[in-house]
Structures are given as structure tokens and as C-alpha cells.
């Protein structure tokens, strides 16, 4: 039996022998065939896309025209008009309509209409007129629309309106939509003043049962003594989770003849095999990614992540909890870590229980600063009577991103949101919060709502002592990229002022408000003031001393003065990377020099040390597959972007960035990261 019997990652091809038909297959097909809207909303790698591939084939055999639109591919940081136009162009292409090649003209001629109205006109006057057969349009990755920078309530309301037109326009009886993704249907329309998205059939995807999956044993023939028994043991560990079940069967199959001394006659202990091949060192063995996908979704947002970790911790301790349908429980289910079973939530399978065990949960909880919990509690109290649960959760998630948990700033921001609650539309909290904070706190900050607090921070930073200039220079360096934390007085002073924090031995600006107010431009202005003051003081002193120096020189008999000792030169390791030794050795030499020189450690040496550490950190993240666009944290690519193009180390940063970009596994992640950080483009040029 060929080793490619199983399919790992992505949609299972149509003719694959390892596609497992489940109860959902016939339900999905029959509902769509009969014109029922459907949605398949579940965690990742549960077989949603594979289900659609199989269903689409069956529908096409029934003379139903189908189209698949991957909404994640339409763009992320784009305008509403462009997003709808790209969607319109995709539909024209999929159905090969008469206006193909003239899409832009058609769209622009109707610029006086809103994008959603243009899409509506296109569907009614072009699509439904030119395609006479029944139509099913599948929107994959539906969750991607929830992170767009404009409200998509209109989009879901339009989908519902197409359904509501059926009694009045028979053409719409031929048009059916289905949606696939990692989302909750309650998030489709967030505006409380609009009707909820209450149409469509919810297709529940369960894991494989032993009865469903018995054909997977075929891939183990001639590989193990009792294929069916081995398959049953695999499902006992995976709980029937589709991706894991296929992956482990494939691992067992490929580990037999031709690999070491294993043969079909050698008994296999499935539990021990899974422990060594999946659970142990799971971060490095998780390829294609599955466990890391669960981890990243769970820890993506620190406030809700903390709450979900505590919910999961409760499930681990008690075995199960009652499913009450709360937003946090829904989010936890969408990670894939837990599953609903008879109105209870329990851990999906034994593999997850062993990987994401109580020690792991405790470790991750300890990594999330306690102030997130305090902010969470404060925000819940102050916002309880002003916003509903969903909107309150969204606000609580955004507040720490701006305040960094600073108590005084948190209260200021919460009161600002309450004062402007009528402007905060549900689903659009993030851009509106940014707008309110920029207008009421950041702009003209000395006269704005947080003036007293920010004035204290400024006074601490600009305290007129001998270290003020070096404090500003170090802070400037922190703004441009993380700086190693040590006991230098300037760095300790910045931490004491709460302007920066020590995050895993690196200094970072405490919060986004400080970054916006005390930004690079502000630092440059303050440094220029200091330079002018120093020049002025020096000029006055020079004039005062000039006469005395001249008189003193005239009083001396002509004599040869001793040569002045040359000023110490900056060590070469501070200006040039030595490629004859390892990166770690370079860093160690600079650290040793830092210990020797203490407070006299050259600024240039500190910059070199910081940049080499950034490269080291980036390489380490890449080893763990955290290359780019990693939820909730910086990836290796983003770390390298902190090294300025003017640096001698930039070429090495480019070397690694290009190497990752040329790897197909990471190219799409880097492309997404570049959408948010276009300045990083220089790394791959």
C-alpha cells in the first residue's frame, strides 16, 4: 500500500481513498440541493473545506453551478469599495460572465451607489440573468471578514436580503449561499439595531467514529499486524479529530518497513508511538502545524486568552463544565481544544490533554501580566451598565493595548469610552477607540484628558541631571527596537518612571499611548534642545575662560608640550560582525566587554549587541516556526525589521528574511506581515 494513502493538511482531493464520509455530508448536500442556506462553523482542520469539495462535485453532477470564494484572499487592509469590487470581480470570473474584461468600467459607472448596492445590482441584473441554472456560492474563510477595518454588517444583511427576495423574485430561488469558517453566527451582524443573521442551517461537523473511519485501516495493511485494532487505538487517542487521525495513521504507516528495524511483524504500542512522535517536543514535531494553531488561537488575545485559559483549567480539573453558550465558551470551542458533548464541554482528546496539561496552563497564565486581570475586572465594573456583553468584551480587549494596564490611564480611557458610547458601533470598536484616543489624549496632549499623567511621565524622563541625554538616547533606541535590560542607571530610571517595562530581559515601551505621545519626533526635538543648551553653555564658558587661558599661555616660557594621548578607539567587534566565529560567540564577546566596561560601555557597542540579539532571537523564533504574522506576538521577520537598513547587520537580516521568504511554507505568512508593515519590504528586496 502506498504511503500516500493518507492526506495531511489542506482539502482532501476528490479521489483520495482516505476521505471519510460523515453524517454531515448528506445533510449538507441535501440542504444545498434544496436551496437552503447553510453554514459550517467549526475549529480549524475539522474537514470543512474537504466537505465542500465533495459536496460541490455532487451538486455539479445535479447541474447546479457552483463557485468558491476564499474571502481571506480578497485582502485585509483595504477599503470597503476595493473589497466589494474584488468580490464582484471574482464572481464575474468564476461564472465567466459577459462583462468579463470590463469589470472596472461596469463598477466605476455605478460609483454613485454604495459598494453593497453595486454588488446587489450585479447579482440581480447580470449573474441571475446570464446563469439560468441553480447557483450555489460558497464563501470560505468567512471569519476573515470579521477583522476587516470596516463593518461587514451590510454584507451579511445583504445575504439575508437575497433570501427574503425569494417570494417576490423567483430568480432568487435559484441562488443559495453557504459559509465555512472559524466563527460564531452571532458575530455576523453585530449592530443591535439590525435583525440578526437568523437564516440557514447549521451543519455540525463531528470527529470520526470507528464505524466512519474503518476504511483508514486500509492504509495500514502490510504495515501492522492488526490494522483495525491499531486504528481503534489511534481514534482512542485522537477522539476522531480528522487531521490528527490521518496524521498519526500516516506516521505509523511510514515508520514501518524501510525505516529502521521496524517491520509489520513488530508489535506497535500506539500510546508510546504517539508519545514519542507527537506529544514529546511537540513544538518541533508539529508539522504540518496543528497543535501550534490551537495554541496561537487560544493565546492570541491576552485578556480573553486569560479567561479561556481559566475556563480550560476548570475543564481539566473537573473533567467537564456545563455549556452555557457564553462568548468565552464559544471562543474556547473554536480553538478546537474542547468539544461539546450532551450540553457539556470537555477536552477533545487525550493528545490535547497531554500537550495542553495543567502545567502548561499554569505556565501560560503566569506569562500574562496580572494587570490584565485587574484591568479586566475594572472594565467589567465600569462598563457593565453601558454596553452589552459582546461589545463590553471587545472594549476590554482593546483597552490594555493602549494603556498597558496602567491604572490611571485605564480609568481615563474607560471614562472616555463611556462619554462617547453613542459613537461606538458594535463590531467597529477598534478603529473608533483609536480615533477617540488620538483626538482626546494624544493630540495636544498637554491640554487633553491625560495631561496631568503624561506630564509626570515627561518630567521623569527630562529630569535635569547628568544622565538626561543618555536617557533620551536609550529611550529613542527602545522606540526603534527592543533593548537589552541591564542595571545601567538610565535604563533603571526609565523603568522607575514606568515609561518602559522589562519584558523577558528586553525593554519595551509600556503602552501605545506613551509610544504615540513620546514618539521619535518628540525625542529628536528634546535632544536638539539639549544640544543647543549644551552649545550655549559651552560658548559662554569658552568666552569667560578665553582671556585667562591666553594670559596663562603668555606667562609661560616657550617649551615643547607633551603629545596628547590618543582617545581610546571603539573595539572592532562593536563596529563589524566577525563571520569567522558563531553569532553566539560574537554576542558573548560583546557581553564580556559590557561587563568589563560597565557604565563606560560604548553606545555603538550597545547598538551592535542589541542588533545581534535581535538576529539571534529571530533565528530562534524561526526554528519554532514563528516566522511571521503570528497571532499575539512578533514573528522572526518582524524582529529583523527592527534592524535599520543603515546598519552593517542589515545584510545578515536580509539573508535570513530572503531565505524564509523563498520557503513556500512561510511565504504567505510574510506577505501578510508585509501588508501590516510595508517598511519591512526592504528585507526581501
pLDDT digits (tens, 9 = 90+) for 559-600: 444 444 444 567 877 877 776 676 777 888 888 887 777 766
Contact 593, 605 (CB under 8 A): yes
Q: Where do runs of H (alpha helix) occur along 9-150?
A: 23-33, 48-61, 80-95, 103-108, 115-122, 128-130
Span 521-565, pLDDT tens digits:
899 888 888 887 765 554 555 555 554 555 555 555 554 444 444
CA 325 to chain centre: 25
Per-residue pLDDT at 583: 76
Which of 167-181, 375-389, 491-505, 634-648 is predicted with the least confidence, judged by mean pLDDT? 375-389
| Average pLDDT of the chain, as a whole number | 85
Sheet holding 344-347, edge to edge: 321-322, 344-347, 338-341
Instruction: Name which of 348, 312, 340, 309 is nearest 45 in CA terms.
Output: 348
Span 119-173, pLDDT tens digits:
999 999 999 999 999 999 999 999 888 878 788 889 999 999 999 999 999 999 9
Per-residue pLDDT at 547: 47
Please, which pLDDT band fits residue 258 given cuts at 50, 70 and 90?
Answer: very low
DSSP secondary structure of 153-176: HHHHHHHHHHHHTTTT-GGGGGEE
How far apart are alpha carbons 10 and 399 in whole angstroms?
A: 36
**Does 1.10.3470 match the CATH number of domain 454-523?**
no
Q: What is the pTM of this model?
A: 0.63
Which of 228-237, 374-383, 417-426, 584-593 is predicted with the least confidence, judged by mean pLDDT? 374-383
Q: Is it the case that residue 388 has pLDDT exceeding 50?
A: yes
Interval 268-273 mean pLDDT: 92
Span 76-125, pLDDT tens digits:
778 899 999 999 999 999 999 999 999 999 999 999 999 999 999 999 99
Interval 625-639 mean pLDDT: 78
Contact 599, 605 (CB under 8 A): no
Q: Is it the case that residue 311 has pLDDT exceeding 50?
A: yes
Q: Is it the case that residue 477 has pLDDT exceeding 50?
A: yes
Per-residue pLDDT at 632: 58
Please name the residues in contact with 146: beta carbons below 8 A apart, sequence gap of 6 or more: 152, 183, 187, 427
Q: Is it the case that residue 451 has pLDDT exceeding 80?
A: yes
Per-residue pLDDT at 441: 94
How far apart are alpha carbons 312 and 316 in whole angstroms?
A: 6
Using alpha carbons, list the distances in angstroms from residue 479 to 444, 485, 643, 657.
21, 14, 12, 22
In percent, the amount of the chain with pLDDT more than 90 equals: 40
Please name the residues in contact with 209: beta carbons below 8 A apart, sequence gap of 6 or more: 235, 240
Please, which pLDDT band fits residue 490 given cuts at 50, 70 and 90?
Answer: confident
Q: Is it the case that residue 213 has pLDDT exceeding 70?
A: yes
Domain boundaries, the chain: 23-202, 292-367, 370-423, 454-523, 574-684
Per-residue pLDDT at 314: 95
Q: Is it the case that residue 215 has pLDDT exceeding 50?
A: yes
Which of 31-35, 450-454, 651-655 is predicted with the least confidence, judged by mean pLDDT? 651-655
Per-residue pLDDT at 362: 92
Per-residue pLDDT at 492: 87
**Is residue 39 helix, strand or coil?**
strand
Per-residue pLDDT at 260: 45
Select 23-202's CATH number: 3.20.20.100, 3.40.640.10, 3.10.560.10, 3.40.50.300.
3.40.50.300
Amino acid at each position: 500500500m502506498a504511503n500516500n494513502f493518507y492526506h495531511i493538511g489542506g482539502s482532501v482531493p476528490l479521489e483520495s481513498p482516505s476521505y471519510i464520509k460523515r453524517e454531515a455530508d448528506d445533510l449538507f448536500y441535501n440542504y444545498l440541493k434544496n436551496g437552503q442556506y447553510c453554514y459550517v462553523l467549526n475549529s480549524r482542520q475539522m474537514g470543512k473545506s474537504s466537505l465542500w469539495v465533495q459536496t460541490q462535485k455532487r451538486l455539479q453532477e445535479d447541474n447546479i453551478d457552483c463557485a468558491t470564494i476564499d474571502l481571506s484572499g480578497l485582502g485585509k487592509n483595504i477599503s470597503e469599495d476595493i473589497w466589494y469590487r474584488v468580490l464582484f470581480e471574482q464572481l464575474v470570473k468564476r461564472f465567466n460572465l459577459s462583462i468579463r474584461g470590463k469589470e472596472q468600467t461596469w463598477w466605476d459607472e455605478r460609483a454613485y451607489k454604495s459598494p453593497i448596492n453595486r454588488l446587489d445590482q450585479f447579482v440581480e441584473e447580470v449573474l441571475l440573468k446570464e446563469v439560468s441554472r441553480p447557483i450555489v456560492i460558497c464563501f470560505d474563510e468567512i471569519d476573515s471578514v470579521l477583522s476587516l477595518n470596516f463593518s461587514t454588517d451590510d454584507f451579511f444583511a445583504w445575504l439575508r436580503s437575497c433570501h427574503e427576495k425569494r417570494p417576490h423574485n423567483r430568480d432568487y430561488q435559484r441562488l443559495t449561499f453557504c459559509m465555512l469558517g472559524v466563527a460564531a453566527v452571532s458575530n455576523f451582524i453585530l449592530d443591535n439595531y439590525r435583525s440578526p443573521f437568523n437564516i440557514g442551517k447549521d451543519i455540525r461537523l463531528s470527529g470520526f467514529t470507528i464505524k466512519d473511519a474503518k476504511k483508514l485501516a486500509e492504509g495500514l495493511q502490510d504495515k501492522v499486524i492488526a490494522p483495525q485494532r491499531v486504528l481503534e487505538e489511534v481514534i482512542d487517542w485522537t477522539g476522531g479529530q480528522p487531521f490528527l487521525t490521518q496524521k498519526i495513521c500516516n506516521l505509523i504507516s511510514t515508520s514501518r518497513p524501510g525505516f529502521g528495524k521496524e517491520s509489520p511483524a513488530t508489535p506497535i504500542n500506539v500510546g508510546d508511538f504517539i508519545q514519542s512522535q507527537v506529544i514529546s517536543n511537540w513544538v518541533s514535531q508539529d508539522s504540518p502545524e496543528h497543535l501550534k494553531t490551537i495554541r496561537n488561537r487560544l493565546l492570541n488575545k491576552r485578556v480573553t486568552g486569560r479567561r479561556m485559559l481559566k475556563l480550560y483549567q476548570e475543564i481539566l480539573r473537573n473533567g467537564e463544565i456545563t455549556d452555557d453558550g457564553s462568548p468565552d465558551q464559544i471562543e474556547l470551542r473554536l480553538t478546537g481544544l474542547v468539544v461539546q458533548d450532551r450540553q457539556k464541554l470537555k477536552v477533545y482528546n487525550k493528545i490535547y490533554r497531554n500537550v495542553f496539561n495543567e502545567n502548561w496552563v499554569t505556565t501560560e497564565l503566569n506569562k500574562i501580566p496580572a494587570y490584565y486581570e485587574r484591568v479586566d475586572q475594572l472594565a467589567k465594573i465600569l462598563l457593565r451598565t453601558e454596553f452589552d456583553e459582546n461589545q463590553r468584551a471587545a472594549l476590554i480587549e482593546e483597552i490594555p493595548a493602549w494603556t498597558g494596564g496602567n491604572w490611571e490611564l485605564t480609568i481615563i480611557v474607560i471614562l472616555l469610552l463611556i462619554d462617547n458610547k453613542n459613537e461606538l458601533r458594535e463590531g467597529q470598536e477598534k478603529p473608533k477607540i483609536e480615533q477617540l484616543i488620538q483626538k482626546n489624549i494624544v493630540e495636544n496632549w498637554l491640554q487633553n484628558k491625560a495631561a496631568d499623567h503624561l506630564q509626570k511621565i515627561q518630567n521623569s524622563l527630562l529630569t535635569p541631571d547628568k544622565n538626561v541625554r543618555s536617557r533620551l538616547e536609550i529611550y529613542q533606541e527602545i522606540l526603534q527596537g527592543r533593548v537589552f535590560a541591564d542595571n545601567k542607571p538610565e535604563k533603571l530610571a526609565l523603568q522607575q518612571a514606568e515609561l518602559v517595562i522589562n519584558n523577558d530581559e528586553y525593554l519595551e515601551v509600556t503602552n501605545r499611548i506613551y509610544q504615540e505621545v513620546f514618539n521619535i519626533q518628540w525625542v529628536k526635538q528634546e535632544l536638539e534642545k539639549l544640544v543647543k543648551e549644551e552649545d550655549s553653555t559651552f560658548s559662554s564658558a569658552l568666552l569667560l575662560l578665553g582671556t585667562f587661558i591666553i594670559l596663562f599661555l603668555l606667562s609661560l616660557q616657550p617649551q615643547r608640550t607633551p603629545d596628547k594621548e590618543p582617545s581610546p578607539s571603539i573595539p572592532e567587534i562593536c563596529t563589524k560582525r566577525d563571520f569567522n566565529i558563531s553569532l553566539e560567540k560574537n554576542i558573548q564577546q560583546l557581553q564580556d566587554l559590557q561587563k568589563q566596561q560597565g557604565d563606560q560601555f560604548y553606545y555603538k557597542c550597545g547598538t551592535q549587541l542589541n542588533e545581534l540579539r535581535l538576529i539571534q532571537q529571530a533565528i530562534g523564533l524561526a526554528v519554532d516556526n514563528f516566522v511571521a504574522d503570528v497571532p499575539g506576538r512578533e514573528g522572526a521577520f518582524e524582529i529583523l525589521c527592527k534592524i535599520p537598513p543603515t546598519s552593517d547587520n542589515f545584510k545578515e537580516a536580509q539573508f535570513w528574511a530572503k531565505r524564509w521568504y523563498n520557503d513556500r511554507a512561510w511565504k504567505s505568512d510574510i506577505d501578510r506581515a508585509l501588508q501590516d508593515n510595508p517598511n519591512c519590504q526592504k528585507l526581501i528586496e
